[in-house]
Amino acid sequence: MINKTMKLITGTFLASLLMAGKTLAVDACQQRQQLSGGRTIYNKNETGRGNGNYRYEIWRDGNGGELTLYPKDACFKASWNNAGDYLGRVGLVWDQYINYKNAGGDIIANYAYKKTGDDGGTYSYIGIYGWMDNPQIEYYIVDDWLHNRGAPGGSWMGSQKGTINVDGGTYKVWSGTRTGASKWGESTFTQIFSVRTTQRQCGQINVSEHFRQWEKLGLRLGSVMEAQILAESGGGSGSVDFTYAAVEIGKGGSNNASYNGGQQNSWNQQGGQQQQSASSYPKGTGMQYYSQCKNPKQWAMTFDDGPTQFADAVLDYLKEKGVHATFFVLGNMYMQQSDPNWSRIIKRMYNEGHVVGSHTYSHKDLTTISYQEIRNEMKQLEDAVYAAIGKKPAFMRPPYGSGNGNQNVIKALGDAGYHAAITWNLDSGDWNNKDVNYARQVFSGANGQGSISLNHLQYNGSTKDSILALIKAEMDVMLQKGYKMVTMEECLGMSAYQ
């Protein structure tokens, strides 16, 4: 059914890990112009080199399949007519297999296409395809299909392992074992599928984020051999015409982003290690206070006092823009830790790539309470966070930013396992009912130094619209000044969890 793929690989080819980062800033959904030119491979099973570092493959069972390689990035058109099985794909193939966690950035695909045909035979997939080694894994990320029977799924894909929220949508994850044709000839291997519950015909797929989420579901992954944009059909007739297609590894850490003035999808994730893959960050070397990032032009946006009634709206906005922030949360303020929504929101923050830190359990000024009371405040909150995500914070934000130089506070936090007490050098003023113009003025004063900004998920007089307006204004200013948005892990270069 789907394992014809590797019969045609006759050698290994080096694909560049970095392709100048040129396409990640593109809004693929705006790339709808019909392409022409290039060359077409008719009724053959063939693999070869496409544009630049891209590799292509066409495979069909019987006649009636062709692949047109357009002279632009990884763009192609896949067409078939009564082929028993057909696949066409273009993307990256690595000669030396990569560990996605330290590949220099996230594996990102951007695409837009037009499709014809409404059957797709017994199955059809449009999305991302690849293999891993040690263990042997064939994987799919399915964003669309041709038939009208609903999203692919069933026992032939193994068993459903759970659902994940990635790339602005919900995916069902399936996994099972299969024996058949593979990279290694006939072998037994694992298959993993992420299948989007709602179809789309353009957008961005963060392949690395799918990998992270699969691991959180308990799936063991291997070294990545390839990541290719795919059109596959188990019969019928149709075509998938990619007017835009690119697969790249983003440069420079967790959230190297570009901005084009507020259009949808204008902040584009360029990869790097997000907090779920933070094992490469070292532990801290003793409790210290920090008020700025270690590197110039890095900016960590932080939010205090959550979870709140506005948390989901903020998370929706950050997901839309493809960026990550740091949330210093409380157990007893706007939302009680006993509220089921408290754990749900904490899990969502973590699952979507944000750092979760402590703001104490009940927002007491640590300079006014005893050593043991500080330990109790921290333990109550960290126990609740651990119950939600299975990790204890190593970063905290002291209420009111107090305690720097106070040996009782520093010793209590250090003994509790905290690496960093984090204040700020950019204050939005939201807590004091300052407006967007005030925030713009403050952020305009950033002069290239590493920056940590202070926002709140709720404050006196706040509304969802006022909170989102501040976030957008701050992003406008900082990106125009050339800042890169990072989580607190990259900001400090140390692990966010104990």
pLDDT in tens, 115-139: 998 666 678 999 999 999 999 999 9
170: pLDDT strictly greater than 80: yes
Query: Smallest Cα–Cα separation from 357: which of 496, 256, 251?
Result: 496
Same domain, yes or no, for 231 and 288?
no
Same domain, yes or no, for 284 and 365?
yes
Burial 133-158 (b: 16+ CB within 10 A, else e): eeebbbbbbbbbbbbeeeebeeeebb
> What is the reported pLDDT for 436?
94
Same domain, yes or no, for 368 and 435?
yes
Q: Are 323 and 485 in contact (CB under 8 A)?
A: yes
Higher pLDDT, 463 or 277: 463
> What is the reported pLDDT for 251?
40
Which range is least confidently modeled, 253-267, 298-312, 390-404?
A: 253-267
Structural domain contains residue 53: yes
Same domain, yes or no, for 347 and 438?
yes
What is the domain range of residue 146?
5-249
What is the C-alpha separation between 255 and 253, in angstroms, rounded? Answer: 6
Tell me what the mean pLDDT of segment 219-226 comes to: 94
Q: Is 340 helix (H, G, I), strand (E, B) or coil?
A: helix
State the chain's mean pLDDT as an integer. Answer: 86
Catalytic residues: 138, 232
| Prediction pTM value | 0.51
CATH at residue 191: 2.60.120.180
480: pLDDT strictly greater than 60: yes
181, 215, 249: which is the final residue of a domain? 249
What is the C-alpha separation between 180 and 189, in angstroms, rounded? Answer: 8
Sign of CA dihedral 483, 487, 492, 493: negative
> What is the reported pLDDT for 120?
60
Q: Considering its fold, how many domains does the chain have in total?
A: 2
What is the C-alpha separation between 470 and 438, in angstroms, rounded? Answer: 10
Query: Smallest Cα–Cα separation from 105: which of 184, 181, 173, 23?
Result: 23
How does pLDDT run across 419-469, given as a tens digit for each residue? 999 999 999 999 998 999 999 999 999 999 999 999 999 999 999 999 999
Same domain, yes or no, for 221 and 82?
yes
> What is the reported pLDDT for 221?
95
Same domain, yes or no, for 345 and 404?
yes
Same domain, yes or no, for 343 and 487?
yes
Burial 432-448 (b: 16+ CB within 10 A, else e): eeeebebbeebbeebee
478: pLDDT strictly greater than 70: yes
Same domain, yes or no, for 110 and 153?
yes
12: pLDDT strictly greater than 70: no
